[in-house]
Amino acid sequence: MKKTLDIFQFYRTKQYVFIYGTIESLGKTVNMVLETFTYIFKLDINFKNTIGQMVEVGWKSTPIVILTSFCTGMVLALQVGTATSNLFNEPVYVGMVIGFSMVIELGPVLTAIVVTGRVGAAITAELGTMKVTEQLDALYTLGTNPVKYLAVSRFLACFFMLPILTVISNIVGIYGGLVLSTNTWEVSSCSYLSQSLDFMTVRTFIHGFIKSFFFALIIVVVACYKGFNTKNGAEGVGKSVTGSVMTSMVLILTADYFLTYLLVALKVK
């Protein structure tokens, strides 16, 4: 009986620790975000650092985004063409399906996941290394707020560059489908483009574009929080990077569902 009570007490303690740790993490995250946006609204921004981060987030992520989107567009064209050929004896609606799939869903989500793996991990590793080597403490000693000096520029870079990368992803994905459709299914480029564009409206584009801003916020908030709260040396940096990438991906996919539900309810589609 005593052993059973001890086990129950142990698990109850673990639950309390988990709940307390979760609430504490949420509080620190909210505090960091509010502090960051306070500096942004006051225009207390280091523009040189911000431009440098925009190059890191945007320009250097462009090749992998283009490659991912181009291959995705070709795969979609192959799958849709095969399916419709089996049903209708010819590939139909290939351009429409690829256009809507890329603009509404695959463009924003794939771009966010690619940027998470490249940029989110890099931000966490950089800030985490600064944390464990006490460089953040040195900034405090010199009278510089690490959130102002390090987080603000990264917030702005992700917030502005991810939507641009999403637009590039949409265009390249549709072009990838065009390349495969014209060469494999012998669909004319005019027919493909008319199918892709004629049924779309401005709201169709806005649907995916809005998502990219929320995904950018998720990536940079998680990356900065994990970096600023890294512990236990090099091992801790590795764990923070892994946790940052996995948490960001889960939140992106979860947020994608709720954002889609909300946007559809608001008829932004």
Rounded to the nearest integer, the mean pLDDT of the chain is 89
Q: What is the pTM of this model?
A: 0.92
Report the pLDDT averaged over residues 215-233: 94
10-24, 62-76, 88-102, 249-263: least confidently modelled range: 10-24
- Of the candidates 156, 176, 139, the one whose C-alpha atom is nearest the C-alpha of residue 65 is 176
- CA 147 – CA 124 distance, rounded (Å): 14
Decide if pLDDT at 18 tops 80. Answer: no
pLDDT bucket at 178, cuts 50 / 70 / 90: very high
Q: In the prediction, which pLDDT does 239 show? A: 94
Phi-psi category of 258—alpha, beta or left, where left has phi over 0 and alpha has psi -120 to 50? alpha
Report the pLDDT averaged over residues 123-151: 91
Decide if pLDDT at 14 tops 80. Answer: no
- Of the candidates 220, 228, 222, 224, the one whose C-alpha atom is nearest the C-alpha of residue 132 is 228
- CA 39 – CA 43 distance, rounded (Å): 6
- CA 68 – CA 117 distance, rounded (Å): 13
- CA 38 – CA 223 distance, rounded (Å): 19
pLDDT bucket at 198, cuts 50 / 70 / 90: confident
Question: Three-state SS for 177?
Answer: helix
Alpha-carbon 94 to chain mean position: 27
